[in-house]
Amino acid sequence: MCRLSRTNPLINLAVALLISAALCPPLDAKSADQGRTQQETRALQILDKALLLVEVEHHSAIRAEMVSSLAVVYVRLGQKEKGEALLRRSKELIEEDDDLTKDCYECPSKEFFRIMVAIDHSQAGHINQALEMLEQLVHFDKERQTANRGELLAGLASVFAGLGNPERAGQLLNDAFEAAKTTTDRIGRSASLEDIAKRYALLGQLELSTRVVGAMDKGPFKDHALIAIARKYAEAGQLDRALEINELVETTNFKPDILVIVAQQYLNNGQKDKATELLYKARTASTNVHASNLQEFARFDITLLLAEGGKFADALRILRATKAQAAKLRLMTRLAVVFSRTGQRKTAEKLLANAYKLTSFSRGTYFQARDVVEVANAYAGIGERERAETLLAEAVEVLDAVKEPTNKGLIFSEIAESYLVIGDDERAVNIAERVEQEGNGKFVALLWIAGKFAQAENLIRLKDKLSSELMRP
């Protein structure tokens, strides 16, 4: 479900599942079967509640995706008849006339929701219907005459690839490339070519991606595309080739990016000395990054990787030099997990104690609740379940005292996810019930929890990945 526009909203859920697996001891086969039965029953109860929320949504295209999202989980639970009925309903809804711009300026286009419904049909086993729906969009895009022709084709290419059809994806990217070359607007052309180059790279077609880059003007769009290509070379183990591409990046703000990417790969390979050398170079390059947010992101990644490489003193030195309160708190919580994992337990606990102190700077606001949840998640990450529970309860109290409703729903949703981390499913459901339905927040929260109970996380996660790549590769 993609109405809520959070960056990668299921990352916390993925982490939650990993941590909860670590916290919970394995069960014998009989107990596991009983547990699954209880979870499936709970999932059906939650799905029925979510289904009641569908009709609250005024826009038929959004409602169509809500219905198809539920259908996937029902099918996963063996409720085929109900799932099939919902899939049919989603197709009816998506064909209704619907002005998504009315009272919903932040909504994606109707084409976006058509693609999401198609993905759900594929996830529920209706592959041919899904491909037919996507091909209808291809036909529509090729017929219309717009300045940004080809953008939808490029996005559809990622969806076809994600659904297991890389050949069709390659064909669509070729068509998108030809369309983009005819764009007269210089910025629009550069943005489209960057998008296409990244999507070629995601498919592993690095020669074609490089060909697209060759057609681009110098500047940040081209540099972003080069970074995407370098990432794929690094992931394939061609680290020297990735570093060669780094020499082609001209925008100062992006100079640390490839160095960090390659350093990560060296760490994955156990080559800590080589990783550290690149991280020091990246740290130096970050001093020339003029955009404060980009400098913050670069140093965040550099600091975590230095800690993972055993350079604890260097990581703490960068932490102490971090001035912004929000950035410092976030870095403390992530570093604590890394330090704990590498045997530095006392330092990890000290970092979290100091991070908790920082939450008082925004006392009495939803910002404080958000920060407390961040610290609670970190405590869960190092196995301190009791402390995590205490802090989540505190975050709820803070939110209850906040009179302004704006953003409260989003934080309640995050608290529900956090209760999944520590395995308190009942509280997760109770908190999700408190999320306001505005923006479909309650629906999304309930869907995530039902998906977890139904062991449908991989299906939901794949859809989230495809929707993210569709919007921004």
Tokens of 228: 């995407």
Domain boundaries, the chain: 1-23+56-144+437-473, 251-321, 325-426
Tokens of 356: 């908790």
At 25 the pLDDT is: 47
At 33 the pLDDT is: 53
Residue 38: pLDDT band with limits 50, 70, 90? confident
Comparing 290 with 266, the larger pLDDT belongs to 266
Residues in the chain, overall count: 473
Burial of 21 (0-12, 13-18, 19+ CB in 10 A): exposed
Of 120, 3, 156, the C-alpha closest to 462 is: 120
Torsion of CA 438, 444, 445, 449, to 10 degrees: 160
Residue 36: pLDDT band with limits 50, 70, 90? low
At 321 the pLDDT is: 93
What are the tens digits of pLDDT across the range 368-422? 999 999 999 999 999 999 999 999 999 999 999 998 877 788 899 999 999 988 9
| pLDDT value at 106 more than 70 | no
Lowest-pLDDT range, 84-88, 94-98, 246-250? 94-98
| pLDDT value at 358 more than 80 | yes
Tokens of 311: 């350079």
- Residues above pLDDT 70, as percent of the chain: 89
| pLDDT value at 20 more than 70 | no
| pLDDT value at 149 more than 70 | no
Cα–Cα distances (Å) from 76 to 31, 38, 66, 124, 461, in that order, read 21, 15, 16, 8, 14
What average pLDDT score do residues 31-47 get?
78
b or e along 37-71 (b: 16 or more beta carbons within 10 Å of the residue's beta carbon)? eebbebbbebbebbbebbeebebbbbbbbbbbbbb
Lowest-pLDDT range, 210-224, 238-252, 289-303? 289-303
Q: CA 327: distance to chain centroid?
A: 19
What are the tens digits of pLDDT across the range 273-286? 999 999 999 999 99
What average pLDDT score do residues 134-152 get?
80
Cα–Cα distances (Å) from 290 to 246, 251, 287, 332, in that order, read 18, 10, 8, 24
DSSP structural state of residue 360:
G
At 293 the pLDDT is: 86
At 11 the pLDDT is: 39
DSSP structural state of residue 438:
G
What average pLDDT score do residues 64-80 get?
96
- Residues above pLDDT 90, as percent of the chain: 73
What are the tens digits of pLDDT across the range 387-396? 999 999 999 9
Residue 55: pLDDT band with limits 50, 70, 90? confident
What are the tens digits of pLDDT across the range 323-345? 889 999 999 999 999 999 999 99
Residue 102: pLDDT band with limits 50, 70, 90? low
Residue 74: pLDDT band with limits 50, 70, 90? very high
b or e along 182-196 (b: 16 or more beta carbons within 10 Å of the residue's beta carbon)? ebeeeeebbbbbbbb
What average pLDDT score do residues 18-27 get?
42
Cα–Cα distances (Å) from 132 to 118, 127, 138, 236, in that order, read 9, 9, 10, 34
Q: Give CA–CA dist 414/392, Å, rounded.
A: 10
At 109 the pLDDT is: 84
Burial of 316 (0-12, 13-18, 19+ CB in 10 A): middle
The pTM score is 0.86
Per DSSP, the three-state class of 136 is helix
> Phi/psi at 169 (nearest 5 deg)?
-60, -45
Residue 16: pLDDT band with limits 50, 70, 90? very low
Residue 104: pLDDT band with limits 50, 70, 90? low
Residue 103: pLDDT band with limits 50, 70, 90? low
What are the helix (H) ranges across 287-324?
292-308, 312-321
Contact call for residues 421 and 379 (beta carbons, < 8 A): no
- The overall average pLDDT reported for the chain is 89
